[in-house]
Structure 1
Amino acid sequence: MSSPAPILNISCYLFVALPDAAELRERLHAEALARELKGTVLLAEEGINLFLAGTPEAVRGWVAMLQADARFAGLSPKESWSAAVPFRKLLVKVKPEIIRMNMPAIRPDQLPRAPALPAATLRRWLDQGHDDEGRPVVTLDTRNAFEVDYGTFDGAIDWRIGKFTDFPAALAAHKSELMGKTVVSFCTGGIRCEKAAIVLQQQGLDGPVYQLEGGILKYFEETDGAHYHGSCFVFDQREALDAGLAPSSEVKPAGKA
């Protein structure tokens, strides 16, 4: 097997109460600068969301520093490799939400989490065409329409939302499509589908609701990518990743030059 490219890229999030987000920002920024990392770290009272790149030693050292704080012990970064750092600079910000939904009552750090479905289980369900109880399974894409155009699960429900804040209204308009089915919400790395699954649970659907554990990127990591067509858009200069987690920027969405 060939050696991985020299730059390690990580992405992860965690919903956890961070009342000291502003103070934490200063320390995490200083530690990332010292390790010459680039990317984005978002902090809010509801948790942390990050995308960072650098040498393996630097990236893993920063993660170890973060995990020394008991609140972040559960962080499980998804890793991929690239020939160069795909970010131009380092940004560490404090925001009202680590993923904006404009529903202040939806706080995953305070509410029960929807069951997380492992990638291997979703692949098996899609192979057999139903869940283990014989109920039909639908995958619900919670990403923006331009991301979906790069690739998605075969037959996924796509409401063509322009931004994540559109999801609650789209759900209200299309709720009937989900009745009588097992619903698996998914997104790039899990953060949006975690919030979306909580909203889905509150809608009184008559079937179970799951979130795909780790999103599309974890599905690529833990399966062969079966039942997924195309690539996965990522928010950095690599543009998109294929099922092997390699940059696939040559794969453009429909209608894109």
Structure 2
Amino acid sequence: MDYRVLLYYCFTPIADVEAFREEHHRLCLQLDLRGRIIVAGEGLNGTVSGTVANCETYMQTVKADPRFAALEFKVEQAPAHTFQKLHVRVKPEIVHADLPHIKPYERTGTHLSPEEFRALKDRDDVVIVDVRSDYEYNLGRFKNAVTLDIENFREFPDRVERLRPFQDKKILTYCTGGIKCEKASAFLLEQGFENVYQLHGGIIKYGIEAGGEDFEGKCYVFDGRVAVDVNTVNPTVIAQCVSCGRPDERMVNCANPHCNAHVVMCESCAEQREGACSDACQQHPDKRPYDGTGTYPKQSNHYNPEQGLASYRASVNR
């Protein structure tokens, strides 16, 4: 395959985020990278796609900056770009948790390599905690993992009390690429939990280095692929079609744009319901035409890779 997908983050202080955003956006344009990158005073977070050569140049350039020397890239193959556009944005946090005071580069949970995680996960004195959103863990999660019934990671602080019964155990947190665990585990330590760990590199790294053993289902990813296989050891399907209840792993967005729920729906039910997740959504007058995919990307026929940079400059000069 001629393309790569890079998933990465690094918590490190960035003094002038506006200047860094401008410089980083220009670098990505030069390398024809596409994806979503967030810059904040606490660090850098991104998922991008590009050619093998351009991704290599990007990784070398980023890691040459002393602030990002410890950054680790999760690298996956792809047949083409997995994003349609490039967005480089400044935000208060590189992962939205409403915990701006938490600084993982000062204190966070103990990092476990995929092999260390695999060796610990089945012990009686351990509890595995999924810190992702419900649509993610419903598609796939580690066997026996505790889930927290959250629609968005911002809700995590309000769910921590549900973990009090496990306070005397070793708490092993995990997420897709590791970034949510940095803040989640740091917050748990702040709340008095003592034995807090995190899967370094997340599910993606675990799949690459440990074969994804005991990760049931698929891993939800935030690019055009939507879901990827990670388990090559003992794979299984745990997700169910929202309509008929049969095992399936096909993710769609509801055809009703006012709902737009991200759900599992088999091809047969999607055809019958015209891509809608319920009878009410199927009858909604604004329902989008269903084309068999269940995805409704914004039109990008005239995408200009320089436009994002130009728009940003115009916004800050108003």
Q: Same fold (TM over 0.5)?
A: yes
Q: After TM superposition, give the deviation of residue 113 of structure 1 in Å.
A: 2.4
Aligned partner letter, 2:184: A
1:62 counterpart SS class: helix
Match of 2:228 among 241, 244, 247: 241
Question: Any unmatched runs of 5+ in structure 2?
Answer: 238-247, 252-262, 267-318
Does residue 69 of structure 2 align to residue 73 of structure 1? yes
Does residue 130 of structure 2 align to residue 141 of structure 1? yes
Match of 1:216 among 185, 203, 207: 203
In structure 1, how many angstroms separate the alpha carbons of the residues matched to 2:80 and 2:66? 32
The answer as to whether partners of 2:92 and 2:100 remain within 8 angstroms in 1 is: no
2:144 counterpart SS class: coil
The answer as to whether partners of 1:188 and 1:234 remain within 8 angstroms in 2 is: yes
Does residue 219 of structure 2 align to residue 232 of structure 1? yes
Summarize the alignment of residues 110-189 of structure 1 with structure 2, pairs less than 5 Å apart. Answer: 111-126=106-121, 129-130=122-123, 136-172=125-161, 174-189=162-177
In structure 2, how many angstroms separate the alpha carbons of the residues matched to 1:78 and 1:255? 26
The TM-score with structure 2 as length reference comes to 0.72
In structure 1, how many angstroms separate the alpha carbons of the residues matched to 2:119 and 2:56? 33
In structure 2, how many angstroms separate the alpha carbons of the residues matched to 1:204 and 1:54? 43
Count of residue pairs the alignment pairs up: 241
In structure 2, how many angstroms separate the alpha carbons of the residues matched to 1:38 and 1:106? 29
Report the aligned-residue RMSD: 1.8
Match of 1:58 among 32, 54, 59: 54
Stretch of structure 1 that moved more, 42-51 or 18-27: 18-27
The answer as to whether partners of 1:231 and 1:251 remain within 8 angstroms in 2 is: yes
In structure 1, how many angstroms separate the alpha carbons of the residues matched to 2:116 and 2:201? 13
Q: Which has the higher contact order (CA 8 A, sep 6+)?
A: 1
Q: Over residues 164-193 of structure 1, what are the superposed CA-to-partner deviations in whole Å (9 max), with x where a residue is unaligned?
A: 010000112x13232221100110000001
The TM-score with structure 1 as length reference comes to 0.89
Structure 1 stretches of 4+ with a deviation exceeding 6 A read none
2:53 counterpart SS class: helix
In structure 2, how many angstroms separate the alpha carbons of the residues matched to 1:35 and 1:186? 32
Cα separation, partners in 2 of 1:23 and 1:163, compared to 1, 3 Å = same
Q: After TM superposition, give the deviation of residue 114 of structure 1 in Å.
A: 1.6
Q: After TM superposition, give the deviation of residue 255 of structure 1 in Å.
A: 4.5
Q: Over residues 213-251 of structure 1, what are the superposed CA-to-partner deviations in whole Å (9 max), with x where a residue is unaligned?
A: 001111101112111101100001101111169xx9x83
1:243 counterpart SS class: coil
Identity level (%): 34
Query: What's 1:6 paired with?
Result: 2
In structure 2, how many angstroms separate the alpha carbons of the residues matched to 1:94 and 1:116? 27
The answer as to whether partners of 1:221 and 1:244 remain within 8 angstroms in 2 is: no
Q: After TM superposition, give the deviation of residue 107 of structure 1 in Å.
A: 1.9
1:157 counterpart SS class: coil
2:45 counterpart SS class: strand
In structure 2, how many angstroms separate the alpha carbons of the residues matched to 1:239 and 1:103? 27
Match of 1:251 among 249, 252, 257: 249
Question: Any unmatched runs of 5+ in structure 1?
Answer: none
Q: After TM superposition, give the deviation of residue 21 of structure 1 in Å.
A: 1.3
Query: What's 1:191 paired with?
Result: 179
